[in-house]
Each structure stands twice: as C-alpha cells, then as structure tokens.
Amino acid sequence: MKNILLIANMTFKEVLRNKLLNVLLLFAIVAIASTRFFTIFAPSEELKIMQDTALGIIRFIGMLITVFVTGGLLPKEIYRRTVTVILSKPVSRAQFLFGKFCGALYSIFTNIIIMSVIFFMILFIKFQALSPELNVKFQALAPELIKALLLTQAELIVLASITLCVSTIASEIFNITFGILIFLIGHLSNYIAYLADRFDSLLMKSLLLSLYTILPNFENFNVQNSVVLGGKVSWLYMAKVMAYGGFYTFVMLAIGYLFFAEREV
C-alpha cells in the first residue's frame, strides 16, 4: 500500500507540472464564468442554459484532461526508462500500475472539484442577482447538481481505466485518440442498440448487440438534461450506475495489468 501511495503522489505532482492541462483548466474556468453573462433570455431559461452549458463544459474538459493524463503516463515512463528503475526496487508491476492510476485520479478529481466550485459560485451569484428569494430553489437544486457531478466523476474513472489499459500496449498519441473516440462512442451506445433492432440480419444484430454489451455506456452517467429540467436523481440509480462503473473499471485495470505483466520494459 505504501508503494502505491508513493507512486500516486509522484504521479500527481508530475501531472500538476503539465502546462497543457493547466491551460485546459484555465479555459474551463473562464468558460464557466462566462455563463454568468447569459442575460438575453427569460430568468428561468437563463438558469437552465447556464447549468446545461457549465455541466457540459465540466464533462468535456474533464474528458480531455482524463485522456491526456492517463494516455501519456506509461508511454512517458517507458520512453524515459524510469519504469525500469522503479521496478528494479521492491515494487510490483501491479503496484506500479495501480499507483499510476490513483495518481491520475487525484489530478482528475482535483480539476473537476475546482471547476465544480467555480460553477457553484457563479450559479449562486446568478441566483442572488435575479432574486434573493430564489435561495430556496438553489438549495433544492444544489444536491441534484452534486449528484450529476459525482456521476461525471464516475464516468471519468471508467474512461481513465480504459485509456490506461490501452496505454500498456500502445503509444501516447494512439491512447489519447482512442480515449476520445471511446468517450464519443460511449455516449452513442444507445444508438447502437437502436440500430440492432432495425436490422433483420441475425449476424449484424448479434454484432451490434455484442458491441453494445462490450463498449461502456456513458449515457448511464449522463443525468444532465434531467437535472437541468428539474428532475430528481434517485440514490438507487446512483448506486446502480456506480456499481456498473466500478465493475467496468476493475475489468479494465485487470486486463491492463495482464498486458503490462507481459510487456518488456
């Protein structure tokens, strides 16, 4: 456990020095803050558009940070030969891989939390500017927004595990590209199931249903529209999606370890 925490801490500090990720975070903060100036709509519409835009920014920038962080962790270590030095010490490959994963999650969570805090500050200011009487509505809305952000965090954990798994056998550019494609396809997985129902061919139907089963269904984590429109997200649904994400993450990390265990470094 000590080795995992040490590697995670080293990884976190390394990621903090990444200028590209700092630029992405700065861009997200500016973009979220700019939603404060949506003033050409009716007050109720302004609030909905502001929430929808900010949640979308957090998910998209979070995705980019996730794939850039996890896509380059192992290839950089292998290229610089530092992985050889670390593994020559009493550190197993499983500890090294899981430590890297935990370090990546620390940095991803940190960035998501910063963006979320900025979002809540801007949203609270907006509610106050429209009417102090809306505080009750803000207090009722805040827990649902927190649930949406927690599911976004869970989605990014799954994406990180997939990208890290692929990074055990591929280059950094491929990992980043693959991670972005998986993110996009994962949000279209329900459409794959729809296509399967439209085909009469048993072969095509089986192929599409297999893809639907294997690929991550990121739409399960997306409750953005429901929350923005005033819907409630049940804790039971949260638990089911979290369990799905946890299982998928475990499988990806296990596969990644099997690949990494066989790789010569």
* pLDDT tens, per residue, the chain with 265 residues: 788 888 889 888 888 888 888 899 999 999 988 877 766 666 667 788 888 899 999 999 999 999 999 998 888 888 888 888 888 888 888 999 999 999 999 999 999 999 999 999 888 887 777 666 666 677 778 889 999 999 999 999 999 999 999 999 999 999 999 999 999 999 988 888 888 787 777 888 888 888 888 999 999 999 998 888 888 899 999 999 999 999 999 999 999 999 998 877 6
What local confidence, expressed as pLDDT, does residue 133 receive?
Answer: 62
- Residue 111 to residues 3, 61, 72, 200, 260: CA-CA distances in angstroms? 24, 9, 17, 46, 28
Measured distance CA(188)–CA(191) in Å, rounded: 5
What local confidence, expressed as pLDDT, does residue 43 receive?
Answer: 65
End-to-end CA distance of the chain: 23
What local confidence, expressed as pLDDT, does residue 42 receive?
Answer: 64
Structure-block tokens of residue 30: 């500016």
Structure-block tokens of residue 50: 């502001």
Measured distance CA(158)–CA(153) in Å, rounded: 9
pTM for this structure? 0.91
Domain boundaries, the chain: 2-187+222-262
